[in-house]
Amino acid sequence: DVKVTQSSRYLVKRTGEKVFLECVQDMDHENMFWYRQDPGLGLRLIYFSYDVKMKEKGDIPEGYSVSREKKERFSLILESASTNQTSMYLCASSSGRHSNQPQHFGDGTRLSIL
């Protein structure tokens, strides 16, 4: 079974802090994704990556950056956290550059910015 592990289930940080969210997958997947999920807005794609050191902006990249130094690890960085970044953050992975592959999700990090 594919396992996607997010480093923290719950995290509380203060405005202005630099925040790192880590995600690791164990199935050698090429593709990795970061979403945020908010009530009434669904899942929105922040950034994704097709390969090591590659990154592509999703629909809401502002205020975020990512890092993919190793294939199995994809990090989301909040450069200077703000209260409107309080949300559930979900990481996912999928195999190959081809279509029709399901995405495998971690259980999320609920981040609160005070």
Partner 1 sequence: SQKIEQNSEALNIQEGKTATLTCNYTNYSPAYLQWYRQDPGRGPVFLLLIRENEKEKRKERLKVTFDTTLKQSLFHITASQPADSATYLCALEIYNQGGKLIFGQGTELSVKP
Residues that bind partner 1 (CB under 8 A): 4, 31, 33, 35, 40-45, 48, 50, 58, 90, 92, 94, 96-108
Name the burial class of residue 81, with classes exposed (0-12), middle (13-18) and buried (19+) by CB atoms within 10 angstroms of its CB.
Answer: buried
The answer to whether residues 74 and 31 touch, using CB atoms and an 8 Å cutoff, is no
- Nearest approach in angstroms of CB 15 to partner 1 is 25
* Cα distance between residue 104 and residue 114, in whole Å: 30
- Nearest approach in angstroms of CB 10 to partner 1 is 10
- Nearest approach in angstroms of CB 65 to partner 1 is 19
